[in-house]
């Protein structure tokens, strides 16, 4: 058990210096925008804060509100802006392409599209070299599921409970946490136990969870399956890493059942986890299909499915196309992203700063009972808040207070998890050690004020 919470000793240091002052903003203010949002935007739209912030600019790891106040963006858009907000190289590549041609996709030959496909293929292991572009992570996963079904001639897909794969018909079916919220048609999807070391029924025994997948194959299918889809680290589900040994064992079962293994790297890809460019690489596996979005275009709408020539061949002569997927403006942004990650050593930075921040968060966990678990890799970290460590009671209202206080100090952050009690830390990969200290201080201060 943690020692009793100390006095509010942890006054956060001031935000690291940053050499930029935004021009004065004279547009509509927060109250007016909120009123418009309530009237004209989907009611399912939600915000985490009592008083939502009107963000008018973003520069690298910082956001600016209508009064020019600076915030540390610890959510990184939604794990999208890996290079930093408005990174100059990404902005100029995009504007340059806008001035040349804004749309062409499959109709004509265009280097912005083919050149990026080649660069992306070079980042992939094995024979993963054929790229299909989409507009989003949802579309990428829909296509991956369809390819697996076409290739194998089977319908059965295995997905992991607590995963998030998107919000169209097929991907909603693969997203078990949606079942109670939407009237989802889940034809052909089997949901496996979540291999979650903190909350899962088998603790951190990856082989026991993998046995559950084998059982689903044996008892729920003909013995043949279309495939298995999984994030490597669950993002929306609350930064949950699969228990050790799980993925290699499951991949082997799926292959024996004739299925394809799909790695959803929408959130964890593009250097976010620090140790590797793709998160699945940490498990020594090579998927048959990899899906990606978010960080691929630094927030510009773009997604992709990458697979082998043999598997991709199932789409030959089926006239599969996507009007906007692979738009040259988006692929120009994507190409710039790859160059920036390499040039600025963002993967190495994610590893170094992420490891440092995780150490600090673990030290905070030792001091505050409210922190039940600290997990994740690189700059994809999660802090699960509980009101009772033994019962793991989700701290649903407390997390909102922590976030509110952090916002007041100048840190914006996301939350997730099935119970909505996990702080999700996925900042731009240019996050510095000073930012990490500021973040950890702000979190500690909020916890000490609960
Ligand atoms: N897959 C994962 C792992 C995600 O985190 C998300 C979105 O959060 C998606 C798929 C869906 O992507 P999009 O929102 O771009 O459709």
Give residue-wise pLDDT tens across range 395-407: 999 999 999 999 9
pLDDT value for 9:
58
**Ligand 1 in reach of 15 Cβ (< 6 A):** no
pLDDT under 50 in the chain at which residues? 1, 4-6, 8
pLDDT value for 177:
77
In this structure, how many other beta carbons lie within 10 angstroms of the beta carbon of residue 6? Answer: 12
Which residue's CA is the nearest one to ligand 1's atom 13? 137
How many CA atoms within 13 Å lie on the side-chain side of 260? 27
pLDDT value for 117:
98
Which residue's CA is the nearest one to ligand 1's atom 14? 137
Q: What is the ipTM of this complex?
A: 0.99
Residue among 82, 234, 294, 424 whose CB has most ligand 1 atoms within 8 A, to mutate: 294
pLDDT value for 88:
98
Residue among 81, 160, 162, 165 whose CB has most ligand 1 atoms within 8 A, to mutate: 165
Quote the Cα angle for 256-259-262, to 5°.
Answer: 120
Backbone angles phi, psi at 436, to 5 degrees: -60, -40
Tokens of 393: 């009671």
The DSSP secondary structure of 88-128, one letter per residue, reads: HHHHHHHHHHHHH-S--GGGS--HHHHHHHHHHHTTS-TT-
pLDDT value for 24:
97
**Ligand 1 in reach of 159 Cβ (< 6 A):** no
**Ligand 1 in reach of 175 Cβ (< 6 A):** no
**CA 139 to centroid of ligand 1, rounded, Å:** 9
pLDDT value for 46:
67
In ligand 1, the atom with minimum distance to the C-alpha of 265 is 3
| Cβ(220)–Cβ(190) below 8 Å | yes
pTM of the model: 0.96
Which residue's CA is the nearest one to ligand 1's atom 5? 267
**Ligand 1 in reach of 448 Cβ (< 6 A):** no
Residue among 231, 293, 302 whose CB has most ligand 1 atoms within 8 A, to mutate: 293
Longest dimension (CA), the chain: 68
């Amino acid at each position: 058990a943690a020692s009793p919470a100390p006095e509010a000793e942890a006054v956060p240091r001031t935000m690291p210096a940053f050499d930029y002052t935004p021009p004065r903003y004279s547009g509509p203010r927060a109250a007016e925008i909120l009123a418009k949002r309530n009237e004209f935007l989907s009611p399912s739209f939600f915000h985490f804060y009592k008083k939502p912030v009107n963000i008018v600019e973003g520069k690298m790891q910082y956001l600016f509100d209508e009064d020019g106040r600076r915030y540390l963006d610890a959510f990184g858009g939604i794990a999208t802006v890996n290079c930093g907000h408005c990174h100059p190289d990404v902005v100029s590549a995009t504007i340059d392409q806008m001035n040349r041609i804004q749309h062409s996709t499959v109709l004509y030959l265009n280097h912005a599209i083919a050149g990026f496909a080649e660069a992306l293929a070079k980042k992939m292991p094995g024979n993963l070299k054929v790229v299909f572009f989409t507009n989003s992570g949802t579309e990428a996963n829909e296509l991956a599921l369809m390819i697996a079904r076409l290739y194998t001639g089977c319908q059965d897909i295995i997905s992991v409970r607590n995963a998030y794969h998107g919000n169209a018909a097929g991907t909603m079916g693969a997203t078990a946490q949606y079942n109670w919220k939407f009237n989802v048609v889940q034809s052909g999807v089997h949901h496996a136990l979540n291999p979650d070391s903190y909350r899962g029924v088998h603790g951190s025994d990856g082989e026991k969870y993998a046995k559950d997948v084998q059982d689903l194959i044996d008892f729920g299918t003909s013995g043949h399956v279309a495939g298995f889809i999984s994030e490597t680290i669950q993002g929306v589900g609350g930064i949950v890493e699969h228990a050790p040994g799980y993925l290699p064992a499951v991949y082997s079962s799926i292959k024996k059942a004739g299925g394809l293994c799909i790695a959803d790297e929408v959130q964890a890809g593009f250097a976010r986890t620090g140790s590797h460019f793709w998160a699945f690489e940490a498990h020594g596996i090579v998927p048959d299909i990899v899906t990606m979005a978010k960080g691929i275009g630094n927030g510009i709408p773009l997604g992709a499915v990458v697979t082998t020539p043999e598997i991709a061949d199932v789409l030959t002569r089926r006239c599969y196309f996507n009007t906007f997927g692979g738009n040259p403006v988006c692929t120009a942004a994507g190409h710039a992203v790859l160059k920036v990650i390499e040039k600025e050593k963002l993967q190495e930075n994610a590893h170094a700063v992420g490891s440092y921040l995780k150490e600090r968060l673990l030290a905070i966990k030792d001091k505050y009972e409210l922190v039940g678990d600290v997990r994740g890799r690189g700059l994809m970290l999660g802090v699960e808040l509980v009101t009772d460590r033994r019962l793991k009671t989700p701290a649903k209202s407390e997390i909102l207070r922590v976030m509110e206080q952090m916002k007041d100090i100048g840190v914006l952050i996301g939350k997730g998890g099935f119970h909505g009690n996990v702080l999700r830390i996925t900042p731009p990969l240019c996050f510095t050690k000073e930012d990490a200290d500021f973040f950890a201080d702000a979190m500690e201060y909020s916890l000490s004020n609960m």
